[in-house]
Amino acid sequence: MIINVSEAKAKLSKLVEMAYNGEEVIISKNNIPLVQLVSHNPKAKRKLGLLKGQIKIPDDFLEENAELNAMFYGE
């Protein structure tokens, strides 16, 4: 389905639903196709803990550094 921009503004919800259900929806301006609406398909689910055991966080990681504080905030 090819639809003009001004008409697409008025029917956006319907067009999104159509694209989600697999229909081809192309929005044009002056009869020139500009964009195509497609449904979002995530590539893959994120996996947590991939680097577990491979990274060592120092015990003093959250402690403030006096030298860095002096550089940012002054004495």
Q: Across the 75 residues of the chain, what is the mean pLDDT of every consecutive 10-residue run?
A: 94 95 95 94 86 90 90 87
Predicted confidence at residue 42, as pLDDT, reads 83
11 contacts: CB under 8 Å, gap ≥ 6: 3
- CA distance linking residue 25 with residue 18, whole number of Å: 7
Q: Where are the domains of the chain?
A: 2-37
Q: What integer pLDDT is reported at residue 43 of this predicted model?
A: 84
Distance (Å, whole) CA 36 – CA 10 = 17
Report how far residue 28's alpha carbon sits from residue 2's, in angstroms, rounded to the nearest whole number: 7
Find the length of the chain.
75
